[in-house]
């Protein structure tokens, strides 16, 4: 089973489908925001997360596959950032608390 599938619907649009078990909706939204200069998105959350991409008029058709590939990489990047933040959140909070506290929270041994 593929994590995502690509379908070109017209000359300036394409449809991507992302597996909800692999990618989060938040990661897809963050990636879409990063690519707002290249295309507009319409995102729907159904069995799979469907992303309809409409390329901006100043983008050449030859560039579409490279831009879509960049978007797919960005979705993965954003999803991994979320996962790492969840895994390292407690440690980060202790480090920040120690750095900004007036007294030492950790004792030196």
Give the CATH number, domain containing residue 30: 3.30.70.60
At 61-76, the pLDDT tens digits run 899 999 999 999 999 9
- Across the range 46-73, mean pLDDT stands at 94
Domain count, the chain: 1
pLDDT at 106: 63
Tell me which residue range forms the domain holding 42: 4-100
Is 92 within the bounds of a domain?
yes
Is 45 within the bounds of a domain?
yes
Is 42 within the bounds of a domain?
yes
Give, in order, the Cα–Cα distances in Å from 18 to each of 44, 62, 71, 105, 108: 10, 23, 12, 44, 48
Is 30 within the bounds of a domain?
yes
- Across the range 2-23, mean pLDDT stands at 77
- For residue 54, pLDDT beyond 70: yes
Distance in angstroms (rounded) separating the CA atoms of residues 90 and 95: 9
Is 23 within the bounds of a domain?
yes
């Amino acid at each position: 089973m593929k994590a995502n599938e690509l379908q070109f619907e017209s000359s300036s649009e394409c449809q991507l489908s992302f597996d909800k078990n692999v990618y989060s909706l938040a990661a897809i939204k963050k990636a879409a925001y990063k690519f707002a200069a290249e295309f507009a998105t319409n995102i729907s959350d159904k069995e799979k997360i469907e992303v309809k991409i409409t390329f901006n008029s100043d983008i050449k058709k030859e560039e579409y596959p490279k831009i879509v590939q960049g978007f797919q990489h960005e979705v993965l990047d954003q999803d991994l950032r979320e996962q790492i933040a969840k895994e390292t959140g407690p440690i980060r909070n202790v480090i920040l608390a120690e750095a900004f506290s007036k007294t030492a929270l950790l004792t030196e041994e």
